[in-house]
Amino acid sequence: MDTSRRAFVSCGPMTFKPTFVPPESFSLADWLLDARVREGKGDRVALRTVDRSWTYREIQAHANRWANFLRETGVQPEQRVLIALPDGADYVGALFGTLKLGAVVVMANPELKRDAVAYFLEYTRAKVALVAGDAYEFEVAAEEARHLGALVRADGPGFRDRLLAASDSFENFPSHRDDAAVWLFSGGTTGFPKAVVQTHRAFAYTTECYGKGVLRVSENDVTLSVPKLFFGYATGANLFFPFSVGATVALFPERCTADRLFDAIEEFRPTILVNVPTMIHKMVTHEEAHSRDLSSLRLATSAGEALPPELWQRWTDLWGVDLLDGLGTAEMWHVFLSARPGDVRPGTLGKVVPGFEVKLCNDDGHEVPDGDTGWLWVRGGARAIAYWQQQEKTEAAFRGEWYVSGDMLRRDEYGHYVYCGRGDDM
């Protein structure tokens, strides 16, 4: 073992060289979507829903129509668009359409209650909110929203005709790699969540480092997710990662249950399943677990909560599919600690994703030895700009190149990280 890792060293700012730096003029919508058409993958299936399949060329045209529609509705570059749509083609089109316009995506749970909707509309100052289905809570809250220009029902009377009447061509806004792209919401312990402002650069960085580097996503993959797209975990693993290589995304709008998930796996035949421990438990304890067909999967991911070793073992015994636990935060957008295919130690979060650097520090900011518990410090090319309207919180969490989490971890002698809990709970 490298004994120098045991020494207490400064965890202050140091020069970090990212492994991927996009050009200054850089748009996620172009990098993830338009580039697939330019490189000859326009006729590959980009999206499968219960109703139909969409090629990359069709999704590009759909996103262009959304961009034109949003501009006609009054959205300008850098303004926020709140997307509270069910998973499907309109969600994908609206998200990329917003980015094409140079506006900022705010993703919200379509099942939010009125007080939460009112908070989101006031806090984000969204110019437009996009809803569908039972949107009564949004409709009532929108009546009092000071900054909202329009509440758009994507399944409302006449909307589809308006969208189809919009041009399927659009000249993307020349976004900068460090422009805000998406607001992610950090799970707080009190009150409503605060937004973490993430850039075009950040999403591309983790797509390269984790999506391509660890998951090895390729154009032959089909992805399916338990969390819905408004969760950053799913936005990456079940949209951005597969779109970056011309793979296929499978979406269904219903709330995920074990029965619905088993059916979706057998219908869409995914190769990558984006999962969470709660659903993993429901799957392995399901009365039909032994008879359901998961043979299409080459791996599954787990994040969001602890994955007990015994749960990992039950999954492995049942299906023999690599189950990769990992840790990510909204502040770093996505996963930066992860197990690898063929390198899994149950009960740990795996190792540092290449392209990131992690240290565990004591209260004085000095690194602790392997085996000791310390505060999680992480840096890499996916760090957020700030917490919106939270200067003190930003200054406390973002120290130079580092993000200092409230999580406590320890590292074993093999370089695997073990989650120990939140610092304020210990």
Which H or E element spans position 48?
strand 45-48
Same domain, 419 and 299: yes
Within 10 Å of residue 407's Cβ, how many Cβ atoms? 17
Residue with the two structure tokens 């599954």:
300
Number of domains in the chain: 2
Beta carbons of 118 and 145 less than 8 angstroms apart: yes
Tell me, yes or no, whether 94 and 225 share the same domain.
Answer: no
Instruction: pLDDT band for 15, please (50, 70, 90 cuts).
Output: low
Distances in whole angstroms, Cα of residue 122 to Cα of each of 71, 111, 118, 125 = 21, 18, 6, 5
* Domain that includes residue 131, residue range: 28-175
Asked whether residue 303 falls in the same domain as residue 400, the answer is yes
How far is it, in rounded angstroms, from Cα 328 to Cα 333? Answer: 7
At residue 13, the pLDDT reads 44
| Whether 309 and 407 share a structural domain | yes
Q: Is residue 341 part of a domain?
A: yes
| Residue 253 belongs to domain with CATH number | 3.40.50.12780
Same-domain check for residues 208 and 136: no
Query: Considering the domain boundaries, does residue 217 fall inside one?
Result: yes
Give dist(CA 107, CA 63) in Å, integer. 16
What does the pLDDT average to over 341-356? 97
How many helices and strands in the chain, by DSSP H and E?
14, 21
- Same domain for 50 and 119: yes
- Summarised one tens digit per residue, pLDDT across range 50-70 is 999 999 999 999 999 999 999
Kindly state whether residue 195 falls inside one of the protein's structural domains.
no
Q: Are residues 238 and 282 in the same domain?
A: yes
Calpha distance 236→333 (Å, rounded): 9
Cβ–Cβ contacts within 10 Å for residue 256, how many?
Answer: 19
* pTM of the predicted protein model: 0.94
What are the DSSP calls for 34-47, one per residue? IHHHHTT-TTSEEE
Please tell me whether residues 231 and 352 are part of one structural domain: yes
State which of 134, 157, 175 marks the end of a domain.
Answer: 175
Smallest CA-to-CA distance from 244 within 61, 94, 99, 29 is with 29
192 is a domain residue: no
Same domain, 9 and 61: no
Q: Is residue 128 part of a domain?
A: yes
- State residue 11's pLDDT score: 44
- Using N-to-C axis directions, what is the helix angle for 89-100 and 56-72, rounded to 10°? 60
Contact indicator for 42, 56 with CB cutoff of 8 Å: yes
- Total residue count of the chain as it appears in this document: 426
Quick check: is 190 in a domain? no
Domain closes at, from 129, 157, 175: 175
| Residues 69-126: tens digit of each pLDDT | 999 999 999 999 999 999 999 999 999 999 999 999 999 999 999 999 999 999 999 9
Domain assignment present for 391: yes
The 10s digit of each residue's pLDDT in 366-425 is: 999 999 999 999 999 999 999 999 999 999 999 999 999 999 999 999 999 999 998 765
Same domain, 135 and 208: no
Residue 180 in domain: no
Cross-strand bridge partners of residue 222: 248
